[in-house]
Amino acid sequence: MNDAITITPASLTSTSLIAADKVTGTSVYNLAGEKLGSVDNIMIDKASGRAIYAVMSFGGFLGMGEGYHALPWSTLKYSHDKGGYVVDLDKDRLTDAPVHDGGEDFMWTPEYGRRVDGYYNAPMMWF
């Protein structure tokens, strides 16, 4: 008896689960409906397998001057109406948030995580 499950691209998204590559590029909006940016990457805790941060690209033009903001995953809520994530942030608050330029020399550290979590008043999810 063969109990194997065939996974097709169409089956990688369900009502509550989504493949990580489908999250990349998803728009992020504030409560006023303004598009703030889009998800560039997801940071996953190696030990637990939980998504900890969505890295959102923000600002810039045609990729120039763009900043990358780590948003605690707990701050994002998926909106079926918008087809994207909604956060309780305005653009001014995001402008002052911890940011990195996406360069190869950037290293995620517990200190950076504490800065991000503290800025958004989110529980620390990794050490």
Q: Rounded to whole angstroms, how far apart are CA atoms 63 and 70?
A: 17
What is the per-residue pLDDT across 35-58, written as a single tens digit (0 to 9) for each? 999 999 999 888 888 899 999 987
Q: Rounded to whole angstroms, how far apart are CA atoms 72 and 4?
A: 35
Predicted pLDDT at 12: 45
Confidence (pTM): 0.78
Q: Rounded to whole angstroms, how far apart are CA atoms 40 and 53?
A: 11
| Local confidence band at 21 (pLDDT 50, 70, 90 cut-offs) | confident
| Local confidence band at 64 (pLDDT 50, 70, 90 cut-offs) | low
Distance from the first to the final alpha carbon of the chain:
44
Stated as kind and residue range, the H or E segment containing 107 is: none
> What value does the mean pLDDT take over residues 59-63?
58
Predicted pLDDT at 91: 83
